[in-house]
Amino acid sequence: MADAMNVGVNLEAFSQAINAIQALRSSVTRVFDSLKDGMKNKETLEGREKVFITEFQDNLQSVNRDLNELERLSTLVGRPSESHPLHNSGLLSLDPVQDKTPLYSQLLQAYKWSNKLQYHAGLASSLLNQQSLKRSANQMGASAKRRPKVQPSTLVLPPQYVDDVISRIGRMFPDMSIELFRPNGTSAVLLVTLGKVLKAIVVMRSLFIDRTIVRGFSENVYSEDGKVTDHATTALLHYQLPQMPDVVVRSFMTWLRSYIKLFQTPCQRCGKFLQEGLPPTWRDFRTLEAFHDTCRQ
């Protein structure tokens, strides 16, 4: 509101004008006070009238003086700009029943949020563009035609390439068997068997891991409530590197492999093997250390 009034108004003159109004009001009050009090007691009637009239004239003159001063200042104040920053909706700020209909403040708030939203959307958009998974035609524009193709888009990697990456990872971990199926067209599904501890189904979308389900090999104490599946899903979110999907698959498999000692590794915090009948089902994403789900914080 103060900002809005700033436009086209001389605030200095404005405060002087308010003072002038106060002065005018008190001089007018003095006029009526003297009229109300009437003539003061003097020796003679003539003396009383003379004093009364002189006082009355003085008071009227000061009213006149204060009025002139106010008129002078009112020309300096200027008029509020017609072009309000919020255009016509700015006139809502002049609504005298602000408390009942706080439209103007709500409007300002909405504008503020809208600006913020736009700003953050811009940031998000530029971040997402940096990590774009697909190269859309209009994004690259005409310059893409001249640019040599560096590598095929990760979304349409040839199945042979995916097979190679998976079999390479399989050779890295001899204690983990990875079988690859393509039950529905080109997308691969991996059946990962980790010793006698667990089996995992990993659904791929090209070389990206789309989903994973982890089940216990024979016992299902730890998988019944889906703990390891939950952790594995969290791991998928953790290992994100859109430009290097093969590194992501390898990191995920390395992490999954750390479950091979699920029943032989004590919790790194409490030192116990079992807590409430559950082995330490959490594996740190960086160090691969084992923790109970409740001990990991």
Cβ distance to Zn ion smaller for residue 183 or 277: 277
Distance between CA atoms of residues 171 and 178, nearest Å: 9
> What minimum distance in Å lies between the beta carbon of 288 and Zn ion?
16
| Per-residue binding letters, 69-88, with Zn ion (x by CB under 5 A) | --------------------
Rounded-to-integer distance, Cα 204 and Cα 246, Å: 12
Count of Cβ atoms closer than 10 Å to residue 16 Cβ: 17
Q: Min. distance of Cβ 251 from Zn ion in angstroms? A: 24
**Contact code string over 239-268 relative to Zn ion, x by CB under 5 A:** ----------------------------x-
Cα dist. 159→106, 152, 169 in Å?
56, 12, 15
Sign of the torsion formed by the C-alpha atoms of 259, 264, 266 and 268: negative
Residue 283 near Zn ion by CB under 5 A: no
| 3-state secondary structure at position 196 | coil
Sequence-separated (6 or more) residues with CB below 8 Å from residue 267: 273, 275, 280, 290, 291, 292, 295
| Residue among 53 and 270 whose Cβ is closer to Zn ion | 270
Residue with smaller CB distance to Zn ion, 90 or 280: 280
Q: Considering the complex, state which of residue 59 and residue 281 has its C-beta at the smaller distance from Zn ion.
A: 281
Among positions 90, 231, 292, 293, the unique one binding Zn ion when judged by CB under 5 A: 292
Q: Which of 1, 270, 274, 288 binds Zn ion (CB under 5 A)?
A: 270
Site of interaction with Zn ion (CB under 5 A): 267, 269-270, 292, 295
